[in-house]
């Protein structure tokens, strides 16, 4: 088994920094979606593979595009979070790095 660490492809939060870092829960751009689909050509996925990912929308999208039709296991865990968050409790994450929860906020 191999263990690979992959960051997400292009998301809307990187298009116009620093303002775009304040976007809440930004998805992948069209270019980012194409980049994610290209991953399965470079790093093929099998049904036995396991993805351990954070609950950021752009990471979830990357895993879905990358896995395609494969029935691999996806484990979503908050400790696989973005950048320094949540490792430093005093650190305030950018809005683009706020993790999704199991239940939607109303």
Q: How confident is the model at residue 104 (pLDDT cuts 50, 70, 90)?
A: low
Query: 10-33: per-residue pLDDT in tens?
Result: 998 889 888 888 888 899 999 999
What percent of the chain lies above the pLDDT cut of 90? Answer: 33
- The radius of gyration computed from the CA coordinates of the chain, to the nearest angstrom, equals 14
Q: What is the mean pLDDT of residues 58-85?
A: 84
Q: How confident is the model at residue 87 (pLDDT cuts 50, 70, 90)?
A: low
Q: How confident is the model at residue 2 (pLDDT cuts 50, 70, 90)?
A: low
Instruction: Decide if pLDDT at 71 tops 50.
Output: yes
Q: What is the mean pLDDT of residues 77-101?
A: 68
Q: What is the mean pLDDT of residues 52-65?
A: 91
The vertex-12 CA angle with 65 and 53, nearest 5°, equals: 45
Q: In sequence order, which ranges of 1-106 are alpha helices (DSSP H)?
A: 30-42, 57-67
Distance of CA 69 to the CA centre of its chain: 18
- The beta strands (E) that lie in 1-106 are given as 50-53, 73-76
């Amino acid at each position: 088994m191999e263990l690979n660490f992959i960051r997400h492809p292009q998301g809307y939060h990187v298009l116009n920094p620093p303002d775009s870092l304040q976007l809440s829960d930004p998805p992948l751009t069209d270019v980012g979606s194409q980049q994610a689909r290209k991953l399965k050509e470079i790093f093929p996925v099998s049904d036995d593979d396991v993805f351990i990912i954070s609950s950021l929308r752009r990471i979830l999208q990357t895993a879905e595009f990358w896995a395609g039709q494969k029935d691999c296991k996806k484990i979503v865990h908050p400790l696989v979070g973005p950048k320094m968050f949540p490792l430093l409790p005093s650190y305030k994450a950018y809005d683009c790095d706020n993790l999704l929860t199991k239940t939607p906020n109303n």
